[in-house]
């Protein structure tokens, strides 16, 4: 098991030591979606959903969640985030919502988990705030679409 980064020679979980890694500007962009009925999108946009300002609340929830990623994901390093943006747009082709998060920091480790957490919680918040009018919603396609920085450099889907 010693070749696993988060497991020591005795099989115990451990946080990876990043103290020897170079501090670089790191970014990650994640995306996801919530499929729903067209009438659900209309109510969210009109502000007539039972729980109020759906999109704004979900964007804020994503931001708040990203800042707490290390508390949610075991062995994830706590990071000081220098930029965090969560955007939710409607998409008639789904129909539903497209969620995107962009996260930036200067650190020894990347921010992919923070971006994924932001998108996941924003999608969950959309579901929670709209479930009273549409129980058929589907959350999906949550993924990293780009990252920069660190030893491995840049990558894009």
- With residues binned 3-state (H G I as helix, E B as strand, rest as coil), the percentages for the chain, rounded to 5, are 30, 30, 40
Of 17, 85, 92, 128, which is the active-site residue? 128
Sign of the four-CA dihedral 108, 110, 113, 118: positive
Q: What is the pLDDT of residue 65?
A: 98
CB atoms within 10 A of CB 153: 9
Contact criterion met (CB below 8 Å) for 57 and 125: yes
Q: Does domain 24-149 have CATH number 3.30.70.640?
A: yes
Q: How far apart are CA 69 and CA 116, in angstroms?
A: 9
Q: Tell me the pTM.
A: 0.92
Q: Is 128 a catalytic residue?
A: yes
Q: What is the pLDDT of residue 1?
A: 45
pLDDT in tens, the chain (157 residues): 457 677 778 888 877 888 888 899 999 999 999 999 999 999 999 999 999 999 999 999 999 999 999 999 999 999 999 999 999 999 999 999 999 999 999 999 999 999 999 999 999 999 999 999 999 999 999 999 999 998 889 999 9
Per-domain residue ranges for the chain?
24-149
Q: What is the pLDDT of residue 91?
A: 98
Closest to 105 in 3D by CA, of 142, 69, 134, 80 = 80
């Amino acid at each position: 098991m010693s070749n696993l980064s988060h497991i020591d020679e005795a099989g115990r979980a451990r946080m990876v030591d990043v103290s020897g890694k170079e501090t670089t500007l790191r970014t990650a962009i994640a995306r996801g979606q919530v499929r729903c009925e067209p009438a659900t999108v209309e109510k969210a946009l009109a502000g007539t959903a039972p729980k109020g300002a759906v999109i704004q609340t979900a964007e804020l929830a994503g931001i708040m969640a990203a800042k707490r990623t290390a508390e949610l994901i075991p062995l994830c390093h706590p990071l000081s985030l220098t930029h965090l943006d969560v955007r939710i747009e409607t998409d008639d082709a789904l129909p539903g919502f497209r969620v995107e998060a962009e996260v930036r920091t200067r650190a020894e480790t990347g921010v992919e988990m923070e971006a994924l957490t932001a998108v996941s919680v924003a999608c969950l918040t959309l579901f929670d705030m709209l479930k009273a009018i549409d129980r058929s919603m589907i959350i999906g396609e949550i993924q990293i679409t780009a990252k920069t920085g660190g030893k491995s450099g840049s990558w894009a889907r």
